Amino acid sequence: MTRLTSLDQIPSEMRPGYDPAEHGIGIVHLGLGAFHKAHQAALTDLALAAGGGDWRILGVSLRSPAATAALHPQNGLFTLIEKGAEGTRARVVGAIADAICSVGNPGPALLAMSDPATRIVSLTVTEKAYGLDRAARGCDPAHPAVAADLDHPHRPQGVLGLLTEALRRRRDAGIPPFTVLCCDNLPENGALLRGAVTDFARHLDPALAEWIAGEVAFPSTMVDRITPAATDDTLAEAARLTGCEDQAAVETEAFCQWVIEDHFPQGRPGWEAAGVIFAEDVAPYELMKLRMLNGTHSMLAYAGFHAQLRYVRDVMENPALALLIGHHLRAAAATLPPIPGIDTETYADTLLQRFRNPSIAHETFQIAMDGSEKIPQRIFAAVADARKASVDIRPFALATAAWSRHVSGATHDCAPYALRDPRAEGLRNTATGRDASSVVAAIAGLGIMPDTVAGDGDFWAMVESILSDMLITPMTEIIEREAQRPSPFSRR
């Protein structure tokens, strides 16, 4: 079968509604994974079809050449397969102009980011890649990438180093700075990244840090689209639909949401045409998504994986676990402030429908990775607000216990697995075995939670009690037992 390289190879109804060759590059995107292709690239594709402009994307892979090897030979083209209640639909996206890999050679990426035509640098690199010090709202000099780039600032490999060096080059050349658009699941992601980049620059050049703080826009965003990793089945379906071999194909759900703070001094694509919401304050939407979707995702992933449920759709077929998921959603909603135009009960029902989607093969083990980076804002922050609002904390204790059971490495009811977490080594050394108190102590020693949560003795006593059972009892039994407990979040 011929490799996808041209729109002429595919059916006309699957082609973008514009000629990609007529549009230049205006965005450099760091982190060329499945989510970016299914979300930012897909919506930029629709914006180009509606309003045109030089807003195509140069994708930069920061971790391996695999993404580049998939997209570059295809001239950036890939098949987007959307699966929803109304069936499957597919189209070829032309928004990505090319893909490069910066591993070992940041020169091409820095050259593109320094180009005056580049007006936005967007990012989906996962929480752990930034090297953030959340408490100080700066950078973490002990993070391997941050430390390496501080030592060699003109040949950066990490996110903060690349952004800072590219901005330095633009400042020195008299070129207006690009807008930095973080699209990762971080609270106040724009402000958090602004603080980290500014702090990183301050270690090197205080004047540069001051220029970045005063001149560079970091709008906050909220992104939402469930996108599992592509599989051989994904590629086979793309081949059947297009008649071409497509090594960059991606599948996703039909639902898609993007909320952005509208602050782009150098301009932006007409994303409104793709359904993007522009808001003065993204924080309420972001908080809702972090706690209701992401927090519940984490809870069901840890509980589901250790109940030997491979996919989220399998989790939803377990009545007891599905009931607990509903409890967690409503507990998370109860910690939120009112959000104009949003009914959290309706949002919860929508999430449950999305989790049940039988066409999306989203692995619980994939969602479970990097928990030490995700749990603080998804669960621990919710605990602090739950206490203020007198909300029952047991759903959050259950989620924390399930994560703690995962990092303990206990395999009494599941096959051995490799913990995928940036703090895996430390957790393996201190949290192994069946002693719940040692596991809880190891987690407390990470320093990743608010002081109010760290000092909440009743919460941790509840976590330890649940975890003690999880470490010796099959997760399926724990789930059944929890589902039988009276809950204030049961629907009446």
List the chain domain ranges. Answer: 7-279, 283-483
What local confidence, expressed as pLDDT, does residue 431 receive?
58
Rounded Cα distance between 380 and 400, Å, is 8
pTM for the full predicted model: 0.88
What local confidence, expressed as pLDDT, does residue 425 receive?
83
Topology of domain 283-483 in CATH is: N-(1-d-carboxylethyl)-l-norvaline Dehydrogenase; domain 2 (1.10.1040)
Give the Cα-Cα-Cα angle 381, 36, 87 (nearest 5 degrees): 100
Give the Cα-Cα-Cα angle 98, 99, 101 (nearest 5 degrees): 155
What local confidence, expressed as pLDDT, does residue 430 receive?
63
What local confidence, expressed as pLDDT, does residue 332 receive?
98
What local confidence, expressed as pLDDT, does residue 166 receive?
98
User: Which stretches does DSSP call E strand in 96-220?
Assistant: 96-101, 120-123, 132-133, 138-139, 179-182
On whether the CB atoms of residues 303 and 278 are closer than 8 A, the answer is no
What local confidence, expressed as pLDDT, does residue 429 receive?
65
What local confidence, expressed as pLDDT, does residue 189 receive?
95
Q: How many other β-carbons are positioned within 10 Å of the β-carbon of residue 383?
A: 24
Rounded Cα distance between 189 and 183, Å, is 8
- CATH says 7-279 is which class? alpha beta
What local confidence, expressed as pLDDT, does residue 433 receive?
58
The segments of the chain whose pLDDT lies below 50 read none
What local confidence, expressed as pLDDT, does residue 339 receive?
86
- How many C-alpha atoms does 374 have within 13 Å on its Cβ side? 26
What local confidence, expressed as pLDDT, does residue 406 receive?
94
